[in-house]
Structure 1
Amino acid sequence: MKAELYERQEDCIVVEVIDNSGSLHRVEIKPDGSIETHRQNDYPLGSENRTDEQERIFQQVEARAKYHVHRETDCDVLSAAWNPEEIPRAIEALENLPIQEFTEQFRDFYKALVHTDEFKNEENICGNVVMVMKSFCYDEELSIPHVDPDVRLYYREDGETNKSGAEFECPPNTTRMTLVMAPIREINREFDYPEDFRDLCVNNLICQTRDIYRNMGEEPPADVDIEGYGKPTTLADGLISRPDE
């Protein structure tokens, strides 16, 4: 997709986006990141009147427009987890962490991924674990002063998806980043813990960066277009939900 700033108004920024089908969109974005209007001439008006594929493209255009506003203006409209230019800072912070401290802080994350059944039994979870998450907070010096004390599990039980653990917030003047992976069913005998596990965490963040680009209809840069588990769901895989759902 191609995007450029069209107009800056008092209460919003207008971005023109040409989608991958060649259709022109004009998206008005407020400083808080909310979409004021999305004008175009090639798709039906109203989400309920668009096919899933049309709605998926519509949402990709809006994601691309937000990224352009975040990158080209002083409006902070993206969270760190969805800013492909911020994730490298989180990677550097993770790599700066002394290996012994990394081992202590992320041991439970490793256990939840590799020994998932044992871990979920300790947490009194009966469902099927589909995703494991661990958050950390880094500062301007790219050190990690705080790590979420809990590992969060997404699990399916009785046809519903649930999440374990309490809500977590980073302290002031730090930025939150979350590692997200599927349970590891089989591990190579040559896997060297903790060094290889930290490399796996870095790989996850690189793959999340890859998926951010795909989510907004872009081809990822070559240095992040690698194999691995990134974002659990993106618009590149299909329509996730509609605005009224």
Structure 2
Amino acid sequence: MNSEGDILHHQVDDISDDPSTRTQTENEQFSQARRYAKYYVAQETEYDTIPWDLNPERFETVRDSLAALTVDELDDYFGDLFAQSLSHYADDPDVDTGDIERPYELPAGKIGPEGAVLYEQEIYLDESGDIETVSGVIVEYYVAKGERTTVRHDEAPVPDRDPDARVEISPAPFVDLKPFRDYLVYNLRCQIRDCYVGMGLEPPAAYKVLGPGQYRFTGKYQHFECYPAYFDVDADIPGYSHEFAPELPISDAELGGLVDPGSERSLYRQLKSALFSR
């Protein structure tokens, strides 16, 4: 590096100093190294160098706070997100959407099927590690091939600082707030996996899970040869499994008649119909 902090060349001769001549995998390896460097500095010094959206320890604190919310608190914080997601199934005869109405119309410029949209909500913690407030619903969608845009529905002011985490969900037919909460908690677990994978590290055992985490990493897993398909709940990746096990809005007696302990299918897949029809 020179005195201005610019990289002049790299010690490894078999990787080009010119980013434009590197392979996609080599460029991603450089990105991993940069992410890990920020994480290492934060772990070893007093400097807060980790970007908020790559901070596994903070995400875990948010997970704990989110998992502890009551139904009323869930409705206050995430009721619009829940309704927006469920509204995509209003015409599905197998999903009991009740009297749910869509809080926000889909953007006029969106292309693709109705469900080709990503919903997000940012979470802010207070000094005690409890949820202080959340943003409004954030809508990400494609307006052209390879071109995405974002619409925010912030109806109330949020703190003038970075959020502590952001949950992400594609339209899903959860018809009860408790399993919906459990999905958001699981999404953050997958995001923690993404934080470690994005630094070139194997996640701790608790985060070797399959499923969608951060959408930006899902794109990498789909298109970069250096990554397995961690987003795919059916992926065959040694040491990884799909562990989403939501709290169900059915009785223990009903549950016993629906689950086959000897089945190779996951608990989630065995209970999908009951989960989505209450």
Q: Normalising to structure 2: TM-score of the pair?
A: 0.63
- AA partner of residue 202 (structure 2): E
> 2:137 corresponds to which letter in structure 1?
V
Question: What is the Cα deviation at residue 227 of structure 1?
Answer: 2.2
Q: 1:39 is paired with a residue of what secondary structure?
A: coil
Q: Given residue 166 of structure 2, which amino acid in structure 1 is its aligned partner?
A: T
1:140 to 127, 133, 147: 127
> Would you say 1:65 and 2:48 are equivalent positions?
no
Aligned to 2:233: none
Aligned residue for 1:85? 57
Is the counterpart of residue 157 in structure 1 residue 143 in structure 2? yes
Q: Sort the Cα spacing of 1:174 and 1:161 in 2 relative to 1 into closer, same or farther, 3 A.
A: closer
Whether the 8 Å CA contact 2:84–2:102 is kept in 1: the answer is: yes
Q: Distance in 1 between matches of 2:197 and 2:177?
A: 30
Count of matched residue positions in the alignment of Structure 1 and Structure 2? 202
CA-CA distance at 1:172 after TM superposition: 5.8
Q: Say which of 1, 5, 10 aligns to 1:39.
A: 10
The SS at the match of 1:85 is helix
Matched, 1:179 2:167: yes
Q: Percent identity?
A: 27
| Cα distance in 1 between the residues matched to 2:27 and 2:48 | 25
Partner of 1:7: none
The CA deviation at 1:181 is 1.9
For 1:163, the aligned partner's letter is T
Match of 1:210 in 2: 193
Per-residue CA deviations over 1:184-215 (Å, capped at 9, x if unaligned) read: 2xx3xxx6611111111100000000011111
Q: Identify which of 191, 194, 201 aligns with 2:177.
A: 194
Task: Determine which structure has the larger strand proportion and give its number.
Answer: 1
Please list, as runs of the form range in 1=range in 2, the aligned pairs for 1:122-133 lying within 5 A after superposition: 122-127=105-110, 128=112, 129-133=116-120
* Deviation by residue 1:65-113 (Cα, 9 ceiling, x = unmatched): 1111111111111123211121111112212333211122201111222
TM-score (normalised: structure 1):
0.71
* Whole-Å separation in 2 of the counterparts to 1:45 and 1:166: 43
Secondary structure at 1:205 match in 2 = helix
Q: Deviations over 1:34-63 (max 9, x none)?
A: x75473323111211211121111111111
In 2, the alpha carbon distance for the partners of 1:132 and 1:74 equals 35
Q: Give the unaligned 5+ runs of structure 2.
A: 90-100, 225-278
Which has the larger displacement, 56-65 or 107-116? 107-116
What's the Cα RMSD here?
Answer: 3.0
